Amino acid sequence: MTLLAIETSCDETSASVVRGGTILSSIISSQIKLHAEYGGVVPELAAREHLRNLVPVTQAALQAARVQPDQLDAVAATQGPGLPTALLVGFKAAQAIAFAREKPFLGIHHHEAHLYSPWISGDPPTADFSLFQPNVSLIVSGGHTMLVLVESELKHSVLGSTTDDAAGECFDKTGKLMGLPYPAGPEIDRLAETGNPKAFDFPRPLLNDTGDDFSFSGLKTSVRYFLHDHPELLNDAQSVRNLCASIQAAIVEVLVTKTLRAAKRKGVRCVTASGGVTCNRTLRRELTGECKNKGFTLRLADQNLCTDNAGMIGVLAERKLLAGTKPTPPDQEIAPGWELA
């Protein structure tokens, strides 16, 4: 099956052509620079930028895959969750392409696509979701932080999620408090490499709670009060690096400890992680080390599949259609608040 997928849930305009579990092309046009001056994503600007970029990005994806529109067997797009006006652009365009070509269309849950993204590349080189099940999966991005039990291919249940801010949001908001550019996650990652993670002791929210929920707003508030009391730290480059390393250490310790605790409790042998924050080098290192120590097989999403991309949408859509999932009826709309079950 040759499938075109579109993703416009937030600030990346992306199109991809997939076939047989392989991403033939994946074009991503990022709007980071556009939103940086506002310190966060401005929904109206994001939608307008998607409108400008979607056609060239889609053409580029088809060209890079050497696929003509009449060779497409199906079309997919992110249906939710996400920014309503941003979702509308990609979802409606994909529905229209499917309608015009009389091909099936499938709306995809953004987090479900992140969930299966660790299985897209690596060994074997084409996506095989049936490996290492059951597993416990950490989805950690700018909008969500959750633990999911994957029982078998396409069968999963959410164990817990954040009760307030997501981990990526915590990186971005604490970074903003330190005057770092948006999104601050990658910048904190970079500065933390030469900082001391033990320099400052920030709280590890819900670390000792036996449930699978997360909470990161308390950590953000604690950093805010700390900087209010010690503004001089922001004038010293090494202190900023130490702050980054200490904040990152708190976030990563919570994510790693709770993921492995859930995996042990559920009796699985495999752990996976996906979503934008999975780009974080300390998180990747700590998960790798802890899984090795405790005897879990770890599957991390490829760096280029961690942040938002249409490739993961397309691979999941193809799997679902081949597994018999019914196409999304043409009268269905976007689902901005769609929760993963």
For the window 125-144, what string marks contact with Zn ion as x by the rule CB under 5 A? ----------------x---
Q: Which long-range contacts (CB under 8 A, 24 or more apart) does 37-41 make?
A: 38/182, 39/176, 39/182, 40/172, 40/182, 41/10, 41/11, 41/83
Distance CA 159, CA 133 (A): 16
Residue 142 contact, options ligand KG4, Zn ion, none, Cβ 5-8 Å cut-off depending on partner type:
ligand KG4
Which residues contribute to the site for ligand KG4 (CB under 6 A)? 10, 141-143, 168, 171-172, 183, 185-186, 189, 275-277, 279-280, 307-308
Q: Which residue of this chain has its Cβ atom nearest to ligand KG4 in the complex? A: 276
Cβ-based nearer residue to ligand KG4, 280 or 328: 280
Query: How many other CB atoms sit within 10 Å of the CB of residue 326?
Result: 9
308 near Zn ion, judged by CB under 5 A? yes
Cβ-based nearer residue to ligand KG4, 186 or 327: 186
Cβ-based nearer residue to Zn ion, 145 or 174: 145
Least distance (Å) between residue 69 CB and Zn ion: 27
Least distance (Å) between residue 306 CB and ligand KG4: 7
Residue 24 contact, options ligand KG4, Zn ion, none, Cβ 5-8 Å cut-off depending on partner type:
none
- Please report, as a single letter, which amino acid is at residue 127: A
Least distance (Å) between residue 232 CB and ligand KG4: 26
Q: Which region, judged by CB under 5 A, interacts with Zn ion, from 172-180, 252-260, 307-315, 330-338? A: 307-315
Least distance (Å) between residue 172 CB and ligand KG4: 5
Q: Which has the closest alpha carbon to 21: 119, 139, 138, 127?
A: 127
Cβ-based nearer residue to ligand KG4, 15 or 98: 15
Cβ-based nearer residue to ligand KG4, 212 or 308: 308
Binding site for Zn ion (CB under 5 A): 141, 308
